Amino acid sequence: EKVGLDPKVLVEVISQGAISAPMYSMKGPSMIQSHYPTAFPLKHQQKAKSVSQPIPIAAAANELYKVAKSHGYSDEDFSAVIEALKSKFQHSENQ
């Protein structure tokens, strides 16, 4: 959105391309609408830390989950983590 891409078109293009995945096709449209019908609560998504295994991408994802939880999305679907990204980008624009 920040660079002028229409999220609906982006979801459609990615859904048709080589990186298409059933989960993306299922969650993408509701993420555009900021509607997160719960299939798997966000609060249960943070499990990598419990096994004490350093995984850099998991650490980055964990930070986003913490932000989403702090904004009240714990009981929403894990796809609500996009709200943390939106919040992060809005915060960086205001600085």
Q: What is the pLDDT of residue 57?
A: 81
pLDDT, one tens digit per residue, over 31-82 is 888 888 888 888 887 665 566 667 788 788 888 888 999 999 999 998 888 8
22 close to 59: Cβ distance less than 8 angstroms: no
> How is domain 36-94 classified at the CATH fold level?
N-(1-d-carboxylethyl)-l-norvaline Dehydrogenase; domain 2 (1.10.1040)
36 close to 77: Cβ distance less than 8 angstroms: yes
pTM, two decimals, is 0.59
Q: What is the pLDDT of residue 45?
A: 77
The domains of the chain are located at 1-33, 36-94
Does position 94 have pLDDT exceeding 70, yes or no?
A: no
